[in-house]
Structure 1
Amino acid sequence: MKSLSLVSLFAISTLAVGCVSQKKYNELQSRHNQLQTQHNALTSQNQQCQSDLSSSKTRISSLEDQLTSERANLSSLQAALDKCLTASTQGGVNIAKLVDEINASNKYIQHLVNLKNKSDSLNMVLTNNLTRSLDRDELQDVDVKVLKGVVYISLSDNMLYKTGSYEISEIAGNTLGKIAKVIKDYRDYDVLVEGNTDNVPINRPNIRNNWDLSALRASSVVQALQNSYGVDPKRLTAGGRGEYNPVAGNDTEAGRTRNRRTQIIVTPKLDQFMDLIEKAPDSKE
């Protein structure tokens, strides 16, 4: 009778262990599904932000081409006018038309130049405000520069995260707060947060590769800007570029350190900017 009771007790214990294992499996399966859903969403956001950034670069390039074309057109009109004046005095009507076209072309070129100068000035002020707000130690981990009309704020991962993690460290909070304050002052600018890694494979639970890590890091910064510092989430986009956008070689530790970075890219809202470009000045002015 005593032997039978021990067998029964062992059977009950085995069943209990089995139940706990199934529950743990279900929890892990649920966590896996959640992470898969987050990954799919971040991948979609990354594709969208890459498309937006590519469109931005194309539009800026188009504006520069347009300026070049208008200057060439002005030169051609001036040459035609000079030829007309030299050849005959009977082309008064044509000369007047050429003069009007030249004046209109001059006004439009000046309009485009003024828009570009305004954008460059705003970017320079934004850059100066950011640089002045950061102390010397912070500037060792933060690089601010303007490239092709866009402000790039590059933050090292040593300052933002623990190695191999996407959680923002406590020491990064003060720096992000200063950056967020300047961003909030420029409400007509959109903000793309872009994560980058080196090419060393990641080996962490629930992070499959460097694509995952870079996207999760960008998402962490976006959520901090929104939740901790009040930046309008409609202005924010998060994207990860993994190891595929290096700024240095990955064959040295110094190069890998430079490649492990998160960039906050501040750009004018392109819809509003293109509307201004398309509004040529009134020829009567």
Structure 2
Amino acid sequence: MKKLMLLSVAGMLILSSCVSKKEFTTLQEKQKETQDLLNSATVKLNSCMSDKAAAMARMEGLQAQLADMRKTNEDLINTKGNLTTLTQKGAENLEKSLESLKEKDLKITRLQDALNRKDSVTLAIVTSLKKAVGINDPDIEINVEKGVVFISIADKLLFKSGSYDVTSEARNVLSKVAKVINSKPSFEAMVEAHTDNVPYQKGVLLDNWDLSVKRATSVVRVLEDLDVNPQQLVAAGRSHYVPLVANDTAENRAKNRRTRIVVMPKIDQFYEMVEKEMKELEGQGK
């Protein structure tokens, strides 16, 4: 991240020699907005992953407590035999245990329902994308990792060699992606460009960092032209530092040259809903 910021500043300093002060200031503001969006998306993504892990751990703890209470209840019944022989105190204790079991069951059920709803939304997005883009194309891969939808598009579909201008053929693919993003206005889409490790320097671009960022912003502009709300979009360049495979053959380098569109649902709203329901249940138990 620090390298990206330093290189962005360096690129702006180079460009500043060729543009007016007003244009330079405008570029600075746009760069800051883009960086803020990237930082915000990264923070949200990390927070969501952490919240999900905590929610799963809490659910497992509640399930363990439920199992223990059920075992206790069975032991009470087996020990006393017929419920009619229980003392009044034993009956009251059993009633309290059953009531506690109901509360725990309700908490676990609500938590599982919330998780299932979030998973259903994610699955619906994947299904829509695969139907719109076409799952039989080997150069387009759509999958889900940790609740986030990734659309990976091969470099050859988007750009000509060494270029950051989106091809006319790519616009057809991106128009289908744009349609799905537009159907989810509360979602965010981060365009993440990757290169291989072959050194690059052409025109004002210094290296693969510059190239990856320019390719990401080129795709963002196409999506914006396709009426995607720019507030939903984030542009990010990863250079050659996150390869899929080793850059040791031409075939592998081609695999590493790719652009990923990361569709991120705002699952912080989902976790707020879960927390609210859990607090209400705890209040009812007092």
Instruction: Please tell me the TM-score bracket, short chain as reference.
Output: 0.7 to 0.9
Are 2:159 and 1:167 equivalent residues in the alignment?
Answer: no
Q: Which residue of 2 aligns with 1:53?
A: 45
Q: How far apart are 1:54 and its partner, in Å? A: 2.1
C-alpha spacing 1:36/1:252, structure 2 compared with 1 (3 Å): farther
C-alpha spacing 1:146/1:32, structure 2 compared with 1 (3 Å): farther
Q: Which residue of 2 aligns with 1:93?
A: 92
Which residue identity does 1:98 align to in structure 2? S
Radius of gyration: which is bigger? Answer: 1
C-alpha separation in 2, matches of 1:45 and 1:207: 23
Which residue identity does 1:124 align to in structure 2? L
Alpha-carbon RMSD across the aligned residues, in angstroms, is 2.9
> Is the CA contact (8 Å cut-off) linking 2:34 and 2:234 kept in structure 1?
no
Q: Which residue of 1 aligns with 2:154?
A: 156
C-alpha spacing 1:61/1:219, structure 2 compared with 1 (3 Å): farther
C-alpha separation in 1, matches of 2:57 and 2:19: 51
C-alpha separation in 1, matches of 2:20 and 2:61: 55
C-alpha separation in 2, matches of 1:81 and 1:194: 54
Are 2:205 and 1:207 equivalent residues in the alignment?
Answer: yes
Which residue identity does 2:48 align to in structure 1? S
Q: Which residue of 2 aligns with 1:263?
A: 260
Provide the secondary structure at the position in 2 that maps to 1:155: strand
C-alpha separation in 2, matches of 1:62 and 1:221: 35
Q: Which residue of 2 aligns with 1:125?
A: 124
> Is the CA contact (8 Å cut-off) linking 2:192 and 2:235 kept in structure 1?
yes
Are 2:233 and 1:236 equivalent residues in the alignment?
Answer: yes
Which residue identity does 1:232 align to in structure 2? N
- Partner residue of 1:63 out of 55, 61, 66: 55
> Is the CA contact (8 Å cut-off) linking 1:154 and 1:264 kept in structure 2?
yes
Q: TM-score, length-normalised on structure 1?
A: 0.78
C-alpha spacing 1:203/1:230, structure 2 compared with 1 (3 Å): same
Q: Which residue of 2 aligns with 1:111?
A: 110
> Is the CA contact (8 Å cut-off) linking 1:180 and 1:229 kept in structure 2?
yes
C-alpha spacing 1:105/1:215, structure 2 compared with 1 (3 Å): farther
C-alpha separation in 2, matches of 1:257 and 1:143: 15
Q: How far apart are 1:128 and its partner, in Å? A: 1.9
Provide the secondary structure at the position in 1 that maps to 2:144: strand
Q: How many residues align?
A: 257
Which residue identity does 2:256 align to in structure 1? N
C-alpha spacing 1:115/1:131, structure 2 compared with 1 (3 Å): same
C-alpha separation in 1, matches of 2:209 and 2:45: 18
> Is the CA contact (8 Å cut-off) linking 2:48 and 2:268 kept in structure 1?
no
> Is the CA contact (8 Å cut-off) linking 2:195 and 2:258 kept in structure 1?
yes
C-alpha separation in 1, matches of 2:229 and 2:32: 23
